[in-house]
Amino acid sequence: MLNRGKGNVVGILVDAVDYEAAEEYVFQAAREKRGAAVSALAVHGVMTGVMDAEHKFRLNTFELLVPDGQPVRWVLNLLHGKGLKDRVYGPNLTLRVCARAALEGTPIYLYGGTPDILKSLTDSLNARFPGIRIAGAEPSKFRRLKPEEKGPLAERIRASGAQIALVGLGCPRQESFAFEFRELLSMPILAVGAAFPFIAGLLPQAPPWMQRYGLEWLFRLVAEPARLWKRYLYLNPAYVFLVFMQATGLRRFPTTGIVPTAEQLFG
């Protein structure tokens, strides 16, 4: 189990952990009934914080931000000597959490996606991990939550008996959700991004060799060009440039952000 602390990746504080440390953190928070915001960040997730000072504040208050993308892991190793041998891929971490939840009888709650995604996801989880306790599953509303909806949603999750919440709303909406709800729920909230459709078998994943060499973005770009071209063809070069600036000392990247003035939660 490896936990070498946080490292500044162009202003975002990412934890240099392995799968075992991330998994143990989630379950320790669940045992202690402690609110904790956890997310797996690839380049896109890091850049959402770079471009938005309020979101940087949110991310840098997270209890755990794991390096989902290989380029994030590479920067932790290059600039901070963390010595990470692998990334912590969000879908794999999700599967590990679900496997242990089934083994230990820890109830989980699924929030996000469409009803069809949730149906396929619950079927997949039940088939993979017999005995898993899915305390509840609620699809995204695909709109901004009204202020009066926040409390009842938190109450539904608490009343389900869940001890871990898995949230798949997409970046950065799911991180905003985790930031806002962690104290209301008193449990770890794991923002898992595309893990829901991946595990449900509704979205193809890049082959292992592409994942290993940090080319997952290319696979996803080819699979969903209309939706993802701006994300990858703009943000990836920007990330490389900013890393160069940080590595050469040409620019400093403070980790302070701006306290969010008002939450516009997307549910």
- The tokens for 53 are 């000072």
Distance, in Å, from the CA atom of 94 to the CA atom of 45, rounded to the nearest integer, reads 17
Domain 3-140+147-191 classified CATH 1.10.10? no
Nearest to 189 by CA among 201, 174, 204, 202: 174
pLDDT tens digits, one per residue of 9-22: 999 999 999 999 99
Query: For the stretch 203-218, what's the b/e string if a residue is b when 16 or more beta carbons lie within 10 angstroms of its beta carbon?
Result: bebbeeebbeebebbe
Give the global pTM: 0.92
**Residue-wise pLDDT tens digits, 212-228:** 877 777 777 777 777 76
pLDDT at 264 exceeding the cut of 70:
no
Which sequence spans correspond to the domains of the chain?
Answer: 3-140+147-191
Beta-ladder partners of 10? none
* d(C-alpha 188, C-alpha 170), whole Å: 18
Percent of the chain with pLDDT over 70: 97
> Which H or E run includes 166?
strand 164-168
